[in-house]
Amino acid sequence: QVQLVESGGGLVQAGGSLRLSCAASGRSVSSFAVGWFRQAPGKEQEFVAAINWSGRSPYYADSVKGRFTISRDNAKRTVYLKLNSLKPEDTALYYCAAIMSDSYYPPLSPSEYAYWGQGTQVTVSS
Question: In 3D, which of 83, 82, 94, 99 has the Cα closest to residue 119?
Answer: 94
Q: Which amino acid is at 106?
A: P
Which backbone phi and psi does 15 adopt, to 5 degrees? 90, -10
Cα–Cα distance between 55 and 16 in angstroms, integer? 25
Cα–Cα distance between 21 and 54 in angstroms, integer? 17
> Digits of tens for pLDDT over the chain (126 positions)?
899 999 999 999 999 999 999 999 887 778 899 999 999 999 999 999 999 998 888 999 999 999 999 999 999 999 999 999 999 999 999 999 999 998 889 999 999 999 999 999 999 999
Contact 68, 49 (CB under 8 A): yes
Neighbouring CB atoms inside 10 A of 3's CB total 14
Give the CA count within 13 Å in the CB-facing half-sphere of 16: 15
Residue 26 DSSP label:
S
Q: What is the pLDDT of residue 98?
A: 96
Contact 53, 30 (CB under 8 A): yes
Q: What is the pLDDT of residue 91?
A: 98
